[in-house]
Amino acid sequence: MQKDIENFTIDYHKFTTIDTPQSERRRLNVGDIWINEAKCKKCGDVIVSNNRHDFKRCKCGAIAVDGGSWYAKRMASREEDIENNIVCYKDIKKED
C-alpha cells in the first residue's frame, strides 16, 4: 500500500504536551503554538494546521489556516467569517 505523501503531516501533539519546554520543542523542530485552529462561521467547519506546511481550507472554502506550531497564518473571504483559536505552549508569555 502506497502512502499519499502530499497529505502526510506529522502532528506534533503526538510527541509533545502543552508543558513541553521550548528547549525540547526546538530539538524536535516544534514551534511555540500548541493549538492552531479556526472555525468558519459560514459552514461551521473547524480546521487545524498540524505542522509548518499543513495548509487547510474549510469545506466551503471561505477560510484557511497554515503554520502548525510555527506561525498562525489565516486567510478569509471576510474577516467576520473566521473565529480563531490559537493557544501557545505554557512557557510562552502572552503579549498584552
Whether 79 has a pLDDT exceeding 50, the answer reads: yes
What pLDDT, on a 0 to 100 scale, did the predictor assign at position 53?
86
Q: Report residue 10: phi and psi, to 5°.
A: -95, 120
Would you state the torsion angle of the CA atoms of residues 71, 40, 82, 6, taken in this order, to the nearest 10 degrees?
20
90 three-class SS: coil
> Which H, E and C letters describe 44-69, residue by residue?
CCEEECCCCCCCEECCCCCEEEECCC
What pLDDT, on a 0 to 100 scale, did the predictor assign at position 96?
52
Question: Mean of the pLDDT values across residues 24-50?
Answer: 96
Judged by phi (left if over 0) then psi (alpha if -120 to 50, else beta), residue 10 lies in: beta
pLDDT category of residue 57 using cuts at 50, 70 and 90: very high
Whether 4 has a pLDDT exceeding 70, the answer reads: no
pLDDT category of residue 50 using cuts at 50, 70 and 90: very high
Cell of 88: 501557545
What pLDDT, on a 0 to 100 scale, did the predictor assign at position 80?
96
